[in-house]
Structure 1
Amino acid sequence: MSDTMVRMGELAASKTVGDMLVTLGLGSCIGLVLLDRRMGVAGLAHVVLPESTGHAEVNRFKFADYAVPELIRRVVALGARRPMLEAVLVGGASMFASIGGSMEVGARNEAAVKAQLATARIRVHASATGGNRGRTVRVDPKTGIVLVREAGSKDTQLYPATLNKLPTRTLQEVA
């Protein structure tokens, strides 16, 4: 199994068996996962700031207004079908809650990513956002499984939802 690390302001897409897309230490940043589970394609972006307006940055992909459209383009280029894309959001924590006010970058990042997804008509299927702890996200493109680990805890499956909590039924044959 090969880990592809997605650092701040980076994005990656894959459809390779054995790949795992990984972003470590998401605080106020948003880890955006795009999946087409039937085609076995996934993408992951590490969004640092909500918008690029007024910034002459070299790395445009750290901004939601550039990262989201580019991630869509990359997963579609690998064979994902745009109408089938599913989004998962991780991060957006309030890492500086004591400062308050306009410093709530996590909430602004989440809102900006959601706005970009709404414009692209892509629905958010799951999220692990907010709070005040960092998170790590792992995505398996072939299975579409998204794992999240909050700082100080273990990996949990965020998406797709596990069905093992539902009661099981045994079908009986009628003679």
Structure 2
Amino acid sequence: MGNKIRIKMADLNIGKDGDILITSGLGSCVGVTLYDSKSQIGGMAHVMLPEFPENKDDGNPAKYADTALDMLIDKLKKAGASKRRFEAKMAGGAQMFKFSNSSDKMRIGARNIEAVKKYLKKSNIPIKGSEVGKDYGRTMEFDVGTGKATIKTVKKDDIIL
């Protein structure tokens, strides 16, 4: 058995066969995995916001869907994974609170989901599993050896993607 590698909020990391990548606290945040089954190298990002703001010079790029996924792909390729074989899975993006106005700014979960899907589509990376939206938080565990993601919630049984 390999390592349990914890991915904090606004962070990312990669692993190899035997490693388990874990992120918790996925409310409006989205957990995204990228996996190359041939090399058995995979990675996970914990995305907080849709896109890196133009007016920020020193923000944490792992916090945003567009820059976090760029970083994750680079890290995976350097480890020997092939972008051509990447498959993605995603979880989270919940609407955790009800707001009286339906301002698009307050739909962070939905905007995160849209941003991740748009990035993956543009990058020709297929989404092989998804457990997103709704109104509850999640924990995502990704077994790099098998490519299986387990989504744990308080509201229902574990979901295997």
TM-score normalized with structure 1 length: 0.83
Deviation at 1:55, TM superposition (A): 3.3
Deviation at 1:101, TM superposition (A): 2.2
Residue in 1 that maps onto 2:61: 60
Residue in 2 that maps onto 1:76: 77
Structure 2 portions without partners, runs of 5+: none
Distance, in Å, in 1 between the alignment partners of 2:12 and 2:85 is 20
Q: What SS class does the counterpart of residue 7 from structure 1 fall into?
A: coil
The count of residues paired between Structure 1 and Structure 2 equals: 157
Counterpart residue type for residue 22 of structure 1: I
TM-score normalized with structure 2 length: 0.90
Distance, in Å, in 2 between the alignment partners of 1:19 and 1:9 is 20
Distance, in Å, in 2 between the alignment partners of 1:57 and 1:151 is 36
1:97–1:104 contact (8 Å) kept in structure 2? no
2:9–2:25 contact (8 Å) kept in structure 1? no
Residue in 1 that maps onto 2:44: 44
- 1:131-146 superposed matches below 5 A: 131-146=134-149
Q: Residues 65-118 of structure 1: CA distance to partner in whole angstroms, max 9, x if unpaired?
A: 210111111112222111110011100001123343220100001111111112
Q: Hey, which bits of structure 1, 4+ residues long, moved more than 6 A?
A: none
Q: What SS class does the counterpart of residue 115 from structure 2 fall into?
A: helix
Structure 1 portions without partners, runs of 5+: 159-175
The reply to whether residue 151 of structure 1 matches residue 151 of structure 2 is: no
Deviation at 1:153, TM superposition (A): 4.0
Q: What SS class does the counterpart of residue 45 from structure 2 fall into?
A: strand
1:21–1:139 contact (8 Å) kept in structure 2? yes
Over aligned residue pairs, what C-alpha RMSD do you find?
1.5
Greater Rg over alpha carbons, structure = 1
Distance, in Å, in 2 between the alignment partners of 1:58 and 1:105 is 18
